[in-house]
Amino acid sequence: MGIIGASGFVGGELIRLLSKHSHCEIACVVSREHAGQYVHKVHPHLRGIIDLRFTNYDLEKVISSSDFVFTSIPLKASIEAMPRLVEAGLKVVDLSPAFRLPTPMDYVEHYGAIHPDEGLLRKFIYGLPELNRDEIRASSMVANPGCMATAAILAIAPFVHVLEESGDVIIDAKIGSSGSGSKPSPYNVHAVRYGVVRPYKLGSHRHAAEVMAFLHKRNARDHEVLFSAHAVNMVRGISATVYLKTYEPLEQIEAWKLLRSAYDSEMFVRLVKDKTGGFRLPDPKLTVGSNYCDLGFELRPNGKRLILVSAMDNLVKGAAGNAIQCFNIMNGFRESEGVDMPPIYPT
């Protein structure tokens, strides 16, 4: 197995989780910047866990040493590399945005250009196991969802068929600093990043495109998705609050039934709505290090306005853990293999 783009936070999580996976051997970890260095020099928590050096970016070496590859590289690099990986017969889970959207034109608004490879784009399956498990199982090419898109879609999915026919789907997401990646910038150094609640991409975050594609697939085409993000003062985690309007009033018991019908058999979705205690609704602090997505809700008194809360670790269920879940499905392994650890608390 190979990991292309193994030196970032997501790459580190892939190595950490896969290092204890009973059905795989990591043979190749690729990083242009850190080629030749031991993994633990970049991911110091993996000292003594994995004894590999990063290799330079060479697709032929990856192909010769791997039958499965995770790609965690920028969109353009993924588009350029993918034809050769697919041609060589490798199974792939791509963690970039390069193959998440259904048509080339979907890339124009949020990624600045039409996707250049329509044929390959249409072969990729959107890798959200809770919704697309059968398609993932039958595929050799899976596009891992965006982290905030995962949080939003899992919240919305049970309620798609009770939405008001038109109107706004409003998503307000907060994400920790690891969501901006491991590359330093003037805006994510500690002195600037610490203590912030920084709004960005108000109403137009690029993960809105994934939510729109999901709604269209479910024949809910008349909804505008307003997706805003905030950088907040935590390292890991996403908290997404989603506002929906239903076509007729819902009772609490009906909302519970929809959630349970969707997720009772899902090992990585937990429903959280307690009447007492300090954690009455989902909190990303209680998902750190795990592959869980926690979901909860509140109904306004008229029953037609539904407020959903979704929480997860952006690096695990939002990225590496979900990708390994897809890997397991694609290869017929136990779905929870390598990602069935409980969260860490306190953090």
What DSSP assignment string belongs to 179-197?
GG-SS--TTTSHHHHTT-E
Give the three-class secondary structure for 343: coil
Q: How many residues does this entry show for the chain?
A: 347
Give how far Cα 188 sits from Cα of 6, 176, 234, Å. Answer: 21, 11, 12
Q: Which of 24, 147, 293, 326 is catalytic?
A: 147
Cis peptide leading into residue 44 (ω within 30°): no
Q: Cα–chain-centroid distance for residue 126?
A: 11
> Which amino acid belongs to residue 109?
E
Q: Cβ–Cβ contacts within 10 Å for residue 44, how many?
A: 9
d(CA 56, CA 28): 10
Residue 293 annotated as catalytic: no
Distance CA 178, CA 34 (A): 19
Enter the DSSP assignment of 24.
Answer: -
> Closest Cα partner for 42 from 15, 20, 61?
15
Instruction: Name the CA radius of gyration of the chain, rounded.
Output: 20
Q: How many helices (H) and strands (E) does the chain have?
A: 12, 13
DSSP state of 120: H
76, two tokens: 């353009």
Distance CA 323, CA 5 (A): 14
DSSP state of 316: I
Count of CA atoms in the C-beta half-sphere (13 A) of 28 = 23
| Residues with catalytic roles | 147
